[in-house]
Amino acid sequence: MAQIFANHSETPCRRHRGEEAGVRGIVLALAFLLVGAAFGAVWLYRTAHRGPAVSGEPTGPQPVALSDTTLSVLQKLDSVLEIRLYSILDPASVPDSEMAFASRVDQMLLAYQQAAGGKIKLTRFDAQSNLNPNAARADGVQAFNLDKGAACYLGVALAYQGRKEILPHLSPEWEQAVEPDLTRAILRLVEAPRPTGAGAPVPSEVNTNAVREVKALIPNLGTVSEEEGTRILREAALNEFTAAAKEMQVQLKQAEQRLAQARSGGSDADQQAAMKQLQQVQSEQDQKLKEIAARSKAQIDALQQLKATPH
């Protein structure tokens, strides 16, 4: 944002630096929330011997020494853990130091995969993956750098036995906490209570709205298998997600245009208002995608219950 005030006097420059620090403060505040619960674990991890995350060139295949605690947690995996790394960074707005940090995160996840003995499936998405950015947000990963250019993403989603954990935004300021946060997330997945029986929810937990939606989407429910019904429900959710993503993309572009106009000639108040509106649009997008995902899960749970109940 420093370019916005390049032609102003010294006093506005100082004011801009204060605003820019405020934006960074918001990002750091989010980082505090993400690592707050795990911060106490950082001290414990420091007591274990751990080599440097990466030596030499950050992009090369360098060895990473995981802590004894991490190795112990990985031994608890009794089925495949899926890890999805979203490292979608705009070189025009992301500094080299953050690019190097993303590379070190990538190497750390490779070390997790190698140490798990085949129990981790690692999928990496980057700027060359032709991934719709909305897919990253749908997975719970937060966008950042919207005030500087294209939306960027650096986060991790974990999926294990139908459960999910997210590290929505990894920040180089808290690099030392990445391994503790990741390991604690894996441990929560491993130690979470497992559903009883076949995994279908008990009748009292079935969402009656979801049951109605399932019956509307699958009129011939009695003759459709659970597998085929699940496919139909997921396809319906995908169509809803695609339509919502297109609508959101239009809203996001409009908000970005308003911010660009405010930058080029607007007052400080105009710029703050445009930035606030952009953040609000993104927040609404994230919430809508989460609602679609939650509704889809409720429908699939309802389908399982309907199929498990004798007719």
Domain locations in the chain? Answer: 2-191, 203-308
For residues 154 and 141, give the distance between their C-alpha atoms in angstroms, rounded to a whole number.
7
> At the topology level of CATH, where does 2-191 sit?
Glutaredoxin (3.40.30)
User: Residue 32 is which amino acid?
Assistant: F
Tell me the one-letter amino acid at 100: A
Which single residue is written with the structure tokens 């459960």?
A: 163
Confidence of residue 62 (pLDDT cuts 50, 70, 90): low
Write down the pTM of the prediction. 0.48
Q: What's the rounded mean pLDDT across residues 5-33?
A: 41
126 φ, ψ (degrees, to nearest 5): -130, -170
**What is the structure's pLDDT at 80?**
94
Of residues 122, 135, 109, 110, the one with CA closest to residue 80: 122
pLDDT at 104 over 90: yes
pLDDT exceeds 70 at position 39: no
pLDDT in tens, 277-288: 777 777 777 677
* Confidence at 81, pLDDT banded by 50, 70, 90: very high
For residue 201, pLDDT over 60 is answered with: no
Report yes or no: 170 and 85 within 8 Å, Cβ to Cβ.
no
CB atoms within 10 A of CB 127: 14
The whole-angstrom separation of Cα 111 and Cα 63 is 7
* Tens digit of each residue's pLDDT (9 = 90 or more) over 245-267: 777 777 777 877 887 888 887 78
